[in-house]
Amino acid sequence: MKVLLVDDHPLILAALQSVIRGLGDDVTVVGVSTEKEARAALKRDPDYDLVLLDLQIGDSDGFVLLAEFRKTYPALPIVVVSASDRASDVIRAIDAGAMGFVPKRATNDTLFEALNLVMNGGIYVPPLELGLQRAPDPVPDGDTVPDIMRPRLADVDLDDISRSAHQAPHQEAAPSFESLGLSKRQADVLAYLLKGLPNKLIAREMGISIETVKDHVAAVLRALNVSSRTQAVLAVSQMTQRGAVGQGWKSST
């Protein structure tokens, strides 16, 4: 397993390398401190299994670099590590194609858990108050789930999500989908949202009108206390994640 770390702070790079090597004996970690070095590393060897990307690399915009890497290497999982934990930054990163977002103040165990989740095809996001944040204006039909998330969520099953949420050890109690007050139809719509289907395809699959689908989508967003599809995906992701404890991985001076 080959991991590329992109961070301009030597202490952070060293701390990340130490944690990542704990993923296995066969882990190779390469650290770079500039976007130029990051581009060169991926161009030289595009077979990396994972990228950890800081959003602030000198004067560079990490969101721009994230979007560039996602377009150039669409199958490469990218996890954002950032000093920020603002919900708006998390949502923007996931919209741009990140498969995870880990604040730098997170613990070693949280980072380890996040990387394992991403490498197994999941999406990791930190605890957020999503309903308190204004979502970006949706595109037509309200389809805001980024393409990179569609294949990853293609096999999502609501029953499996609910079971895993209750079976995971040390997890805080997560609300079931029944407790959210969703009807069977609305739960079905949520399942299709997690698969990344646009409203037209949901309507075709369920044999209902697009207007009815829009009504169900609105009900789902209200139930999850969010205001966009991306936020809905993040909210469901958080409902299935385990809590983490441990020592902080951010190096101190």
Nearest CA to 76 out of 85, 88, 84, 68 is that of: 68
CA–chain centroid gap for 231, Å, is 10
Please answer whether residues 103 and 126 qualify as being in contact, where contact means their C-beta atoms are separated by less than 8 angstroms.
yes
Rounded to the nearest 5 degrees, what angle is found at the Cα of 34, between the Cα atoms of 29 and 37?
65
Average pLDDT over residues 23-45: 90
Q: Is 7 exposed, middle or buried (0-12, 13-18, 19+ CB in 10 A)?
A: buried
Sign of CA dihedral 175, 134, 150, 105: negative
Higher pLDDT, 237 or 140: 237
| Residue 249 placed within a domain | no
CA–chain centroid gap for 164, Å, is 18
70 and 106 in a common domain: yes
Domain boundary among 69, 92, 119: 119
Q: DSSP state, 50?
A: E
11 and 65 in a common domain: yes
Measured between its terminal Cα atoms, the distance across the chain in Å is 30
Residue 73 has pLDDT above 50, yes or no: yes
Q: DSSP state, 101?
A: E
- The per-residue pLDDT of the chain, averaged, comes to 75
Give per-residue pLDDT as tens, 233-247.
Answer: 777 776 765 333 233
The Cβ of residue 78 has, within 10 Å, a number of other Cβ atoms equal to: 24
| Residue 125 placed within a domain | no
What is the C-alpha separation between 14 and 231, in angstroms, rounded? 33
Please answer whether residues 207 and 200 qualify as being in contact, where contact means their C-beta atoms are separated by less than 8 angstroms.
no
Please answer whether residues 75 and 97 qualify as being in contact, where contact means their C-beta atoms are separated by less than 8 angstroms.
no
176 and 78 in a common domain: no
Residue 174 has pLDDT above 50, yes or no: no
Domain boundary among 119, 151, 167: 119
| Residue 248 placed within a domain | no
| Residue 66 placed within a domain | yes
CATH number of the domain that 106 lies in?
3.40.50.2300
Domain boundaries, position 162: 137-240
Q: pTM higher than 0.85 for the full model?
A: no
Residue 250 has pLDDT above 80, yes or no: no
Give per-residue pLDDT as tens, 193-228.
Answer: 876 678 899 999 999 999 999 999 999 989 888 877
Per-residue confidence band for 57, with pLDDT thresholds at 50, 70 and 90:
confident
| Residue 86 placed within a domain | yes
Residue 160 has pLDDT above 70, yes or no: no
Query: How confident is the model at residue 24, as a pLDDT?
Result: 74
What is the C-alpha separation between 165 and 236, in angstroms, rounded? 10
| Residue 253 placed within a domain | no
What is the C-alpha separation between 42 and 247, in angstroms, rounded? 31
141 and 77 in a common domain: no
115 and 31 in a common domain: yes
What is the C-alpha separation between 27 and 162, in angstroms, rounded? 33
Pairing status of strand 56-57 against strand 60-61? antiparallel
Take residue 23 and report the two structure tokens written for it.
């993923």
Higher pLDDT, 148 or 120: 120
Per-residue confidence band for 170, with pLDDT thresholds at 50, 70 and 90:
very low
Nearest CA to 182 out of 196, 193, 172 is that of: 193
Domain boundary among 77, 93, 119: 119
- Structural domain count, the chain: 2
Per-residue confidence band for 39, with pLDDT thresholds at 50, 70 and 90:
very high
| Residue 126 placed within a domain | no
| Residue 36 placed within a domain | yes
